[in-house]
Chains A and B, each alone.
Chain A
Amino acid sequence: MNWTRKDLIAIEDLRPEEIVHVLDTALTFEEVGQRDVKKVPALRGKTMVNLFIEPSTRTRTSFELAAHRLSADVVNIMATASSITKGETLKDTALNLQALHADIIVIRHSSAGAAKFLADRLDVSVINAGDGAHEHPTQALLDAFTIRQKKGRIAGLNVTILGDILYSRVARSNIHLLTKLGANVTLAGPSTLVPRVFEQLGCRVCYNVEEAIADADVINLLRIQHERQRQTMFPSIGEYATIFGLTKERFARTKPDALIMHPGPINRGVEIDSDLADCKRSVILQQVSHGLAVRMAVLYLCASVQPVEEAA
């Protein structure tokens, strides 16, 4: 397998074998995390910029740590503390970063397409860390890594994604990845947040939670993205928890080896019962650990591709 992408923008762009290559590469980095010295010199001398125009703790920290473990230098730029508040455009901010000889820009932005916009205009590697409700490719990759570690495969598994699908970039990236690798994807939640149009991506859409999770091998819960909803999409948090939350009673009626996943941050008592979040079949914290290995793999692969020199 030859990796030839300098950017990672969307899972939708990737071929199945490219996805598998990232997951295989992540396996070697997972091993690095278990050594005495959890660091390799693969990206020594390279500089990664975390350009976060939208708040994030988990993803930014994960990318930062991943870069450190590859021996790259890291600069963090937060929207609130940057020239963006002084009216600088995204393109100008990025061109300035490139002029400072950054090699990788990891961007999180509230607008869909922001990462692609930069990738098309810059020579440096651009990694999408979430663009609006479009995609969050490294989250889908770490979810897939976790499923593969726990279940040994992805093809043929029943994966139910439960919650706010409409506003979720995690859902979109997961749907693309899982269907490309041959899993059966079911989407469930309030009909206002799970439009039927998602069936066109090859998923089953289901409005009854019990039915949606009955034969699931993996239940991936999503948080309600209040910050993205322009209007209230369901009557109340209490009602959502009652009708769509993963309660002990509901979970007791699933397959005995069904896994609970969640990209975080979790809202205990809303989409997931607090005890379930901490139970043995919940792999939520392992997802976080795997995120580190997967992001190391993505940074290593993308930053190691040299731009094609144009013929003189």
Chain B
Amino acid sequence: MKQTCVMDTVAMDRALTRMAHEIVERSEDLGKIALVGIQGGGVRLAQRLAAKLQEITGKAVPCGMLDITMHRDDLSLRKKPPVARQTNIQFDVTGRHIIFVDDVLYTGRSTRAAMSEITDFGRPARIQLAVLVDRGHRELPIRADYVGKNIPTSKEQKVRVLAEEVIVE
């Protein structure tokens, strides 16, 4: 399939900076915010977003990672078990303003799994969603609160966020 770069390193960094500012702007209590990166593409983005929030506010923002494998709704439909990755939440979730961070928002099923899983750690006061790319095709009533870029796609296309921080469609 033909590959097109839809977001380069500079654009991606700008998008993350803007998202960090939006988070600050819309937050009533910055001290309550905690970022949770969704494995695998969301983890690195959550860390970058946390660094930017610290730059802006001067305060460290707790940042964790969540593996949603065990909460997927398609486990019984698969032929082989998906590989589980690390979950690491070192802060008390109860009462927090949790912001999930993921690379691509597509069907919304990962977000649903993440919402169900995070409540096993406690009861967040609020959950929001930040994604680098929203490519549409939702299958659940879920929307992102912070979006790096909206990229209308067909279902046949693939969106990949690469480690070198260039997005290819």
Contact = CB atoms under 8 A, between A and B. Distances in A.
B48 to A, nearest CB: 24
Given A35-B121, A36-B120, A301 B70 contact: no
Interface stretch (B26-34, B53-61, B78-86, B139-147): B78-86
B76 interface: yes
A29 B120 CA distance: 14
A3 B81 contact: yes
A29 B81 CA distance: 14
Interface string B98-120: 00000000000000000011011
Contacts of B117: 40
Interface residues of B, number: 22
Contacts of A45: 76
Contact of A305 (B69, B81, B116, B119): B81
Contact of B86 (A1, A21, A31, A300): A31
A28 B76 contact: no
B121 A28 contact: no
Interface string A11-48: 00000000001000101110110011101111001000
A225 interface: no
Contacts of B119: 37
Contacts of B157: none
B81 A28 contact: no
Contacts of A304: 75, 78, 80-81
* Contact residues on A (Cβ < 8 Å of other chain), bracket: 20 to 34
A272 to B, nearest CB: 35
Contacts of B120: 35-37, 39-40
B95 interface: no
Given A37-B120, A41-B71, A28 B84 contact: yes
Of the listed residues A3, A4, A304, the one surrounded by the most CB atoms of chain B closer than 10 A to its CB is: A304
B9 interface: no
A27 B80 CA distance: 19
Contacts of A32: 70, 87
A31 B70 contact: no
A41 B112 CA distance: 13
Contact of A1 (B78, B79, B83): B83
A306 interface: yes
A125 B150 CA distance: 44
19 contacts: A1-B83, A2-B80, A3-B80, A3-B81, A27-B86, A28-B86, A31-B86, A35-B120, A35-B121, A36-B120, A36-B121, A37-B121, A39-B120, A40-B120, A41-B70, A41-B116, A42-B71, A70-B70, A305-B81
7 closest cross-chain pairs (CB), A and B: A304-B81, A40-B70, A37-B120, A28-B84, A42-B70, A306-B79, A301-B81
Interface of A: 1-4, 21, 25, 27-29, 31-32, 35-37, 39-42, 45, 70, 300-301, 304-306
Given A31-B88, A304-B81, 5 more contacts: A21-B83, A28-B67, A28-B69, A37-B121, A300-B84
